[in-house]
Amino acid sequence: MFSTMQDVPLTVTRILNHGMRLHGSSHLTTWRGGGEPQRRSFAEVGCRAFQLANALRDELGVQGADRVATLMWNNAEHVEAYFAIPAMGAVLHTLNLRLPAEQLAWIVNHAADRVIIVDGSLIPLLAPLLPHLKTVEHVVVSGPGDRSPLEGAHARVHDYEELIADCPTTFDWPEIDERQAAAMCYTSGTTGDPKGVVYSHRSIYLHSMQVNMTQSMGLTDQDTTLIVVPQFHVNAWGLPHALFMTGVNMLMPDRFLQPAPLAEMIEAERPTHAAAVPTIWQGLLAELTAKPRDVSSLTQVTIGGSACPPALMEAFDKLGMRVCHAWGMTETSPLGTVSRPPAEVVGTEREFAYRLTQGRFPASVEARLTGPGGERLPWDGESAGELEVRGPWIAGAYYNGPDREPLRPADKFSEDGWLKTGDVGTISADGFLTLTDRAKDVIKSGGEWISSVELENALMSHPDVAEAAVVAVPDDKWGERPLATVVLKDGSTADFETLRTFLAAEGKIAKWQLPERWTVIESVPKTSVGKFDKKVLRRRYADGDLDVTRL
């Protein structure tokens, strides 16, 4: 027996039409730095998305499932592309501007992008690559910037505003199968070539609904969200689509991602919510400590990408900014968990412990833990294993290039189709995930596991430590032992023995887990999305580039 319900496709087009019609007065503000911010209503953003779609089809010949890439910051024009490209039936491909040049070129060629929309400030990044981008026929430049480096290349160069200026503000959107590709994003390729994840219209729509759930980010059209997480990183955690769906105002920082301009825009534009990785918030905290600002409007902060140190969460609590942990990855669209403590612990001493977890799984994300021998582990808050997930916005394969079957490597997907996340952790009986490490970063010492994340969080709770990263290094006796690399705050007088004693005090860290090897570094190397890049530290240690003290 079948239902009597209408079968209406869940598409990005529906989000676009709904947002501009019912939330047309909501606004998108782009911070331009030093001048008046650019402001556009959702209705204006929608009309310009219609114009962009017309220009791409009629002027540049984009058809069907053609890939249109963006090499841009977080701004209004990028949001216009977010809607115009998928809604016309093409595929949005966001390019990570922080990747090495060789990886960027490989990604564009692998995806077979026909058009690249580039911010004028990023022309110096694109121009040297352009001769190597075999499939790119058109480059559309948005905003000011010297176009001359692009001259002489095989691709035609267009100005964004001139291209869309005379185009109609209506578009006959095609009927799209909700399972059709809407957008694609490549992983950072820390091991091997980057891997392409292709999001469907259906997955984006359902993910947007989950972002808007009360037990998720729970925002309304009375809120303004500062979207610091880059639009090239997992669709800015799905926020542009989700916020357009519900009329939440957007504040886009463009290229101004340093602590000082972020503090300035929070004080001036009064956002109520913001989303970014921990390294952004660590920098902002240092800025606000050195130069206090009125940031009282910002009462909610979503942190993902890597674990938030407890000391950072406590510091923002004191500023009136409630930090909410979330977990996800490129392959999960990215929302996998959000840490909203259960009702029975709110207001009790147990609440903070729940907030430190990565959070609880929503109904659409199924999870399981797998032990080293492939055994299924219980949800008891103690049994640690690799997290595997599945659901309607979870990748089931990687893009394998035009005219090739999707790729499902055995180390990334189980035989029954679950995504192997590479994250190691526990799940409590009530479904809260606590990640203890990445499988590749866990320290295997004498047959026991040591969590590098636990050591890092403990170190960063010391008042003299700005940042800390812990990696496994070879040890003749134990196989592996932890190496603690620390960034000390200006004026710090702490030495390694002091820090080691601090870790041992009050049972913070078990004695056998305490690092014997220590070094001070100027800064922790970061990946293109702001996570600690531990492979760089391991390589520097192996090459003898670190001045290591052994206690």
Helix (H) or strand (E) holding 251: strand 249-252
Q: What is the pLDDT of residues 57-90, one digit of tens each?
A: 999 999 989 999 999 999 999 999 999 999 999 9
Per-residue pLDDT band for 100 (boundaries 50, 70, 90) equals confident
Q: What is the pLDDT of residues 169-183, one digit of tens each?
A: 999 999 999 999 999
What superfamily does domain 441-550 belong to in CATH? ANL, C-terminal domain (3.30.300.30)
> Could you give the CA distance from residue 84 to residue 19 in angstroms, rounded to a whole number?
13
| Catalytic member of 11, 13, 94, 187 | 187
pLDDT over 90 (residue 527): no
Q: What is the pLDDT of residues 184-212, one digit of tens each?
A: 999 875 556 889 999 999 999 999 999 99
pLDDT over 90 (residue 399): yes
Can 418 be counted among the known catalytic residues?
no
CA dihedral 431, 229, 14, 208 (to 10 degrees): 10
How confident is the model over 239-248, as a mean pLDDT? 98
| Catalytic member of 299, 449, 478, 549 | 449
How confident is the model over 435-452, as a mean pLDDT? 82
Q: What is the pLDDT of residues 477-525, one digit of tens each?
A: 888 899 999 999 988 888 999 999 999 886 778 888 899 999 999 999 9
| Catalytic member of 444, 489, 501, 512 | 444
Per-residue pLDDT band for 324 (boundaries 50, 70, 90) equals very high
Please report the beta strands in 35-104, taking only residues with DSSP state E, as ranges in sequence order. Answer: 38-41, 67-71, 91-94
Q: Give Cα separations from 330 to 77, 183, 363 (angstroms).
A: 23, 12, 19
Residue carrying the six token digits 């016309």: 88
The per-residue pLDDT for 506 is 64
Q: What is the pLDDT of residues 336-350, one digit of tens each?
A: 999 999 999 999 999
pTM exceeds cut of 0.85: yes
* Long-range contacts, stretch 350-355, CB < 8 angstroms, 24+ apart: 354/432, 355/313, 355/323, 355/324, 355/325
pLDDT over 70 (residue 531): yes
Can 331 be counted among the known catalytic residues?
yes
| Catalytic member of 178, 331, 388, 467 | 331
Q: For the chain, which residues make up each domain, given as ranges?
A: 441-550
Q: What is the mean pLDDT of the chain?
A: 94
Helix, strand, or coil here: 278?
helix
Determine contact, residues 446/476, Cβ cutoff 8 Å.
no
- Fill in the amino acid letter for 15: I
More confident position, 297 or 453:
297
Tell me the percentage of the chain whose pLDDT exceeds 70: 99
